[in-house]
Chain A
Amino acid sequence: MLEMDSNYFDTFLQEPPRTKMLDRLWAFQKSKGYISDADVTTLAKKYDISEVEVEGVISFYHFFHRKPAGKYTIYLNKSMTSQIRGFSRILEAFKRETNAEVGSIDPTGTFGLFLTPCIGLSDQEPSALINFYPFTNLNSLKIREIITKLKKGVPVQDIYDKPKDNIQYTPEGKESIFFSDFKPGTAVAKLASLEPKGVIEALKQTNLAGRGGAFYPTWMKWQAAMDEKNTPKIVVCNADEGEPGTFKDRVLMNKVPETVIEGMIICAYTIGASFGLIYLRAEYTWLKHRLEEVLNKYREKGLLGKNCGEITGFDFDIRIQMGAGSYVCGEETALLESAEGKRGEPRTRWYYPVQRGYLQLPTVVNNVETFSVVTKVLDFGVDEILTYGVPKSPGTKIISASGDCNKPGIYEIEWGTTLKEMLELCGAKDPWFIDESGPSGTVLSMDDEDRPIAMFAELSSEQHIRCGGALTIFNKSRDIIDILLNYADFYKQESCGICTPCRAGNFIIERKLERIRGGLANKEDIDELKQWSVLMRTTSRCGLGKTATNSLLNALDKFEDYFNERIHVSEKTKNLKFDLEEATREYEHFKN
């Protein structure tokens, strides 16, 4: 097998040693299950930084441990889709079988049991990662079998579940844009005749907009990077698919990784980049090998490396950077910081990544799906793409559907499909509370069923649903407050922690929601929740804090009746509801 030319990167881009920090930490972590004091000292010396800085990086990522985390480290998904599929039973089963408590290891040090947010397997929950190998559709019996086998010394890689792609739907009577057969190199072969401006033009005509959920016009981003004088330039594929309920990128990378990599090559050609980086979330470690295989195949075919695709002077190669457990690293500037071997703290917009991105070089960051579409735009041709979808939103969109539906999985729908049609396709059972684009997206009710899923509104009066890629369905048996508390807990832990409204705000919101659950809230509490949500949205430093209260705000708005039933109506006495019995319960322990 042709190995990546290790000199390549050095020739075109001298990455400072520190960019290897996360890789080094992973090596320590894997070799003995945790990172020791000696390791910290070693790294501090190696990178000539203080130890507290190394500790800062380690403690930012929840898959790094400073204490032994077991020979087998189990990460059970605690996301909402896992909760409704029996999370608590599964957790009990793991505790029982492994003898480990949450957040620690069993007395023999064999098993470590930890909880983690969505691992991108919402279509096959409950699921867990054991040493980063996936185990899906868990039940108590299955857990007993798994743990028994591991105790007997059966290697994890022999017994894990290869996640199914669950592609449930592609456009009827048409060829799938994403999943149709694709011969590597077909799109790259068209580059020489198109030239960079031809690529930009094709993207413009197909109205391609960032599929990570922000829907920023891709051509504008690429054009800006193209215009930057500074070199070398960088292409980054954001494969840190952390939004709970989203798993489309997982399927793309597993099923059609060629289209993703080829999209990066097209981008590199267009903007004049010589260096590519795939930032892959640690939850998808099991996909790393697959991507590496494809990268090597591309190198063998001459599609990566020097003179890519026989285009003279076009040198480009890609390396994979593993994340280490942090949702905010899906934010592009946090991702860049993380790839540089630092804490994944988002940058301010003082500079945009196309101006100063990875290592302060001009950088295009796009989502997995965006690159995939780029390849298919060139492969299919603009005219063909325009036959899909609706005029202002041509093409198709991949939706990861999960929750209370009969057929969870991947849906490649044409833009313009209504929510109702989508719910019918996935066999939603009595849908009630529907989360679009995960917790940071919007909440939909059945009042929204006629709204189309689209990038842009066809008419100004149209209320389109701008879905980033997830549809999480909950039926009436689910309690909205449980869902919202699950989200609040998620954001409270996943905030990078450096700006006030997000770090403190999510914590405060959680306390307030607990008041509602405890039956102590009144109308004022609801009003304050709304005001504070808007405050966080207005003042947070990055997209995480700005969108963290989206679901909450929508829910308060669309499910007013639900909340009205749960609040206590203030009496005229001006006495607030206070649970004296609860407040004195602890003191009662001291009764002789």
Chain B
Amino acid sequence: MGKHVNITIDGRSILAEEGRNLVEVARENGFFIPTLCYFDHIDPPLGTCRTCTCRINGKPGPACTEKVREGMMVEVNDSELSDIRKALVEMMFAEGNHFCPSCEKSGNCDLQHMGYELGIAISRFPHLFKDRLIDYNAKRMVLEHNRCIKCMRCVVDVVTDDGKRVFSYQNRGNETYVGIDYEQEAKLSRAQAVEAMNLCPTGAIMVRGESMGQPFGERKFDRNSIRPDYYDKQFKAKKRKGKLTKKTIATASLAGCFGCHMSMLDIDTDLLDLVELVSFDKSPITDIKNFSKQCDLGIIEGGCCNEENVETLRAFREKCDILVSVGECAIWGGLPAMRNTMSLGECLEEAFLNCVTNEEGNTVIPYDENLPKLLDKVYSCREIVKIDYFVPGCPPDAQHIWKAVRNLLWDENYSILYSEFKYD
């Protein structure tokens, strides 16, 4: 045992062994600090993801690159720092192409987990949709560059028995990616490859035949928060006021799959309450095509992939007092936005001209004045109109939607369970 020193974290005095990593010490003492690149056995620490940014002796900096020393004053939980950490995780979602609903790692993904713990419903940053490759050339592994957050874990930690690195960063700047050495990868044992997959904080490193074993819903981060303060801080309950008056809702599915609408029906017996309390105006549920009046609440599923979507969305903004984006597609584009990494032309040619199932010599890209014109990419709703609230999920949990609706319309108490807050 080394010498012990006194440090202060958020006003609390803590006795800790001198020279230990601050992240570890804070964690042991019940402070939640998000980390994505940190690994206790890597020295010096990587300090690449920056999500553990705290204030140390008055200066902001990552906790993981700090050694505990006498008199250290640490601030973790003030609104500014919490927002900084949240912003950094949001930045990763905006930078990569993270399609949780179609990811094998969903539920076991550290990045997704941090999103849940921090209550990230939407990234404040515009999604970049940079075109990235998927590398299938290695013997066992598939490298999904869309999901890589460049944390450096695999670069320093995955080595062959003869001491050679399997991964190395390539390029620099926004073109940086983690390259894999096929020759070295082939030398890894199956167990070593699986270990590399588990080391990856996202689904960037996948091992063929090993990625889907564990059922969704029973994975590491599916059920419970690791934050002792999760329910205290994440969703402040509002005060109930007044009696429940009947409200009008309108809904629309733009570039989506109607899955969010289906999910709304999953509130089971609460449907009976719903019928009592709500009347639907323009909505696929009622098949009312045009607004008959101003509505209290508009629920939008799906993003905008064509001009008709834009028009509908604008009408909703006009006619609804509160507008909510429900589901990943409405929030940031979701699965339809997979096309955003390539040009529209490339996409249409692949689908309508070059696709193997097309009849040869009889292919055409549809264009008609009666068809809504396609946009160059799929836009999120908030790029077109101001959106008031966002409910994540693909589809969002029925209870999540229903709680949000009750809160928005009748100011009802609500608290979203960790298990109801999902991106898939």
For the complex, give the distance between the alpha carbons of A47 and B48 in Å: 26
Are B95 and A500 in contact, with the CB atoms below 8 A? yes
Are A508 and B172 in contact, with the CB atoms below 8 A? no
Give a binary string over B149-189; 1 marks a CB under 8 Å from any A CB, 0 the rest: 11010000000100111111111111110011101100000
Q: Which listed residue, B173, B181, B348, touches A590 by the CB 8 Å rule?
A: B348
Are A504 and B183 in contact, with the CB atoms below 8 A? no
Neighbouring B residues of A504 by C-beta, 8 Å: 91-92, 94-95, 125, 128, 174
Neighbouring B residues of A500 by C-beta, 8 Å: 48-51, 88, 91-92, 95, 149-150
Are B317 and A503 in contact, with the CB atoms below 8 A? no
- Interface hub of B45, B95, B174 (most chain A Cβ within 10 A): B174
Are B165 and A541 in contact, with the CB atoms below 8 A? no
Residue A159 at the chain B interface, CB threshold 8 Å: no
Q: Which of B202-210, B284-292, B368-376, B405-413 contacts A (4 or more CB under 8 A)?
A: B368-376
Give a binary string over B85-106; 1 marks a CB under 8 Å from any A CB, 0 the rest: 0011001101100000000000
Q: Which of B9-17, B214-222, B257-265, B380-388 contacts A (4 or more CB under 8 A)?
A: B380-388
For the complex, give the distance between the alpha carbons of A571 and B137 in Å: 52
Given A349-B65, A497-B176, A500-B50, the answer on whether A576 and B91 have CB atoms closer than 8 Å is no
For the complex, give the distance between the alpha carbons of A505 and B318 in Å: 34
Are A501 and B166 in contact, with the CB atoms below 8 A? no
Residue B314 at the chain A interface, CB threshold 8 Å: yes
Shortest C-beta distance, A95 to chain B (Å), equals: 24
For the complex, give the distance between the alpha carbons of A351 and B66 in Å: 10
Residue of B nearest to A52 (CB): B181
Q: Which listed residue, A496, A573, A591, touches B318 by the CB 8 Å rule?
A: A573
Are A508 and B168 in contact, with the CB atoms below 8 A? no
For the complex, give the distance between the alpha carbons of A576 and B379 in Å: 13
Given A55-B179, A348-B44, the answer on whether A492 and B173 have CB atoms closer than 8 Å is yes
Neighbouring A residues of B128 by C-beta, 8 Å: 504, 507-508, 511
Give a binary string over A552-592; 1 marks a CB under 8 Å from any B CB, 0 the rest: 00000000000000000000011110101011111111111
Give a binary string over B126-165; 1 marks a CB under 8 Å from any A CB, 0 the rest: 1010100000000000000000011010000000100111
Residue of A nearest to B386 (CB): A574
Residue A499 at the chain B interface, CB threshold 8 Å: yes
Shortest C-beta distance, A489 to chain B (Å), equals: 10
Give a binary string over A93-129; 1 marks a CB under 8 Å from any B CB, 0 the rest: 0000000000000000000000000000000000000
Neighbouring A residues of B175 by C-beta, 8 Å: 493, 497
Neighbouring A residues of B94 by C-beta, 8 Å: 504, 508
Are B365 and A590 in contact, with the CB atoms below 8 A? yes
Are A503 and B173 in contact, with the CB atoms below 8 A? yes
Given A575-B385, A590-B348, the answer on whether A59 and B171 have CB atoms closer than 8 Å is yes
For the complex, give the distance between the alpha carbons of A499 and B51 in Å: 10
Overall SS of chain A's interface: helix
Neighbouring A residues of B126 by C-beta, 8 Å: 508, 511-512
Give a binary string over A517-532; 1 marks a CB under 8 Å from any B CB, 0 the rest: 0000000000010001
Residue of A nearest to B375 (CB): A583
Give a binary string over A526-555; 1 marks a CB under 8 Å from any B CB, 0 the rest: 001000100100111100000000000000
For the complex, give the distance between the alpha carbons of A508 and B123 in Å: 12
Are A592 and B65 in contact, with the CB atoms below 8 A? no
Shortest C-beta distance, A13 to chain B (Å), equals: 22
Are A59 and B167 in contact, with the CB atoms below 8 A? no
Q: Which listed residue, B95, B168, B348, B375, touches A507 by the CB 8 Å rule?
A: B95
Residue B60 at the chain A interface, CB threshold 8 Å: yes
Residue A49 at the chain B interface, CB threshold 8 Å: yes
Shortest C-beta distance, A322 to chain B (Å), equals: 18
Are A493 and B174 in contact, with the CB atoms below 8 A? yes
Are B50 and A497 in contact, with the CB atoms below 8 A? no
Neighbouring A residues of B35 by C-beta, 8 Å: none
Given A498-B150, A586-B343, the answer on whether A580 and B307 have CB atoms closer than 8 Å is yes
Residue B340 at the chain A interface, CB threshold 8 Å: no
Neighbouring A residues of B167 by C-beta, 8 Å: 52
Are A326 and B95 in contact, with the CB atoms below 8 A? no
Q: Which listed residue, A349, A496, A532, touches B172 by the CB 8 Å rule?
A: A496
Given A500-B88, A508-B126, A535-B84, the answer on whether A587 and B344 have CB atoms closer than 8 Å is yes
Are B184 and A538 in contact, with the CB atoms below 8 A? no
Neighbouring B residues of A583 by C-beta, 8 Å: 375-377, 379
Residue A51 at the chain B interface, CB threshold 8 Å: yes
Shortest C-beta distance, B348 to chain A (Å), equals: 7
Neighbouring B residues of A535 by C-beta, 8 Å: 84, 87-88
Residue B345 at the chain A interface, CB threshold 8 Å: yes
Given A538-B84, A578-B310, the answer on whether A60 and B375 have CB atoms closer than 8 Å is no
Residue A343 at the chain B interface, CB threshold 8 Å: yes
Residue of B nearest to A583 (CB): B375
Residue A50 at the chain B interface, CB threshold 8 Å: yes
Residue A15 at the chain B interface, CB threshold 8 Å: no
For the complex, give the distance between the alpha carbons of A498 and B45 in Å: 13
Residue A381 at the chain B interface, CB threshold 8 Å: no
Q: Which listed residue, B95, B184, B307, B323, touches A52 by the CB 8 Å rule?
A: B184
Are A587 and B373 in contact, with the CB atoms below 8 A? yes
For the complex, give the distance between the alpha carbons of A234 and B261 in Å: 67
Are B184 and A50 in contact, with the CB atoms below 8 A? yes
Give a binary string over A36-63; 1 marks a CB under 8 Å from any B CB, 0 the rest: 0000000000001111110110011000
Residue of B nearest to A51 (CB): B181
Are A49 and B150 in contact, with the CB atoms below 8 A? no
Besides A50-B164, A576-B382, 12 new A-B residue pairs in contact (Cβ under 8 A), listed by A number:
A50-B166, A350-B47, A492-B173, A499-B49, A500-B51, A500-B150, A539-B50, A539-B53, A573-B318, A586-B345, A587-B344, A587-B376
**27 A–B contact pairs at CB < 8 A?**
A48-B163, A50-B183, A50-B184, A52-B166, A52-B170, A53-B164, A345-B169, A348-B46, A494-B172, A499-B48, A500-B149, A500-B150, A503-B150, A503-B176, A505-B91, A508-B94, A512-B126, A539-B50, A541-B50, A574-B386, A576-B382, A576-B386, A578-B383, A582-B376, A586-B343, A587-B367, A587-B375
